[in-house]
Structure 1
Amino acid sequence: MLIGIIGFFAGIIGGMGMGGGTILIPALILFASIDPKLAQSINLLSSIPMTIAALSIHIKKKNVDFELVLPIVLFGIVGAFFGSTLAEYLSSNILRKCFGVFLLIIGIFEIQKGYMHKDKNKK
């Protein structure tokens, strides 16, 4: 049941375009005691059907700029190759810490952006 709830919320976040892995990976590590490398591979595999479902809706609503997609996909494939190769050489403990720092940095940027946007609305 816990895994299903984690998947449900990861699907919501992924469908909104924010990356379900930001929910799925930490939840699998913290609540289901799954090794970070396994959590990453579960995230990648489970994201395929979630991405297809969300993408079909975004394409129907004409929310996709295909000219931007091509370079992102091409460079993303190269980055995915290097990232997955690097992950094989790093320990799970280091990967856990790197992902935590990444989420912290993203959180700080989002909070800062929220405050800057709030100040613009007051003017």
Structure 2
Amino acid sequence: MLLFFLGLFTGIISGMGIGGGTLLIPGLIILTSLNQKQAQGINLFIYIPTAIIALITHFYNKNLELRPVLPIVIAGIVGSILGSRLAVNFDPKILRIIFAVFLLIMGIYEFLKKDTN
């Protein structure tokens, strides 16, 4: 039941464009016996349907600027190839530390950034 609610909550924040993986990956590691690589693989698999639904919804509501999409998609594909090859070769413990440091830096940034609205 906890995994259901984890999936529901991370799906909601994924649909908002926040990035459910930032909570899904640690949640899977804490609630299951999965290692970092396995949790990341599940996150990537779950990302596909949630991204498609969110994309359709945002497109329908005219929240999508199409002009910058192509260069970002091309760079994202290249980056995902490089990143997945790096992740496969990293020790899961080192990968977990890198992910934790990334989350810490992002958390500090979000906490300290000035609101421009």
- Between the aligned residues of both structures, percent identity stands at 52
Normalised by the length of structure 2, the TM-score is 0.95
- Asked if the contact 1:6–1:24 (Cα under 8 Å) also holds between the matched residues in 2, the reply is yes
Cα-Cα RMSD: 1.3
Render the CA deviation track for 1:39-73: whole Å, top value 9, x for unaligned: 00100011111111111110000100111111111
Normalised by the length of structure 1, the TM-score is 0.90
**In terms of Rg, which structure is larger?**
1
Q: Is the aligned partner of 1:95 residue 2:105?
A: no
Report the equivalent of 1:18.
Answer: 18
Report the equivalent of 2:86.
Answer: 86
Aligned equivalents of 1:33, 1:111: Cα separation in 2:
31
SS of 1:66's equivalent in the other structure is coil
**Residue-pair matches, total:** 117
Gaps of at least 5 residues in structure 1 are none
Aligned equivalents of 2:2, 2:54: Cα separation in 1:
23
- Per residue, is there more helix in 1 or in 2? 1
Aligned equivalents of 2:58, 2:34: Cα separation in 1:
32
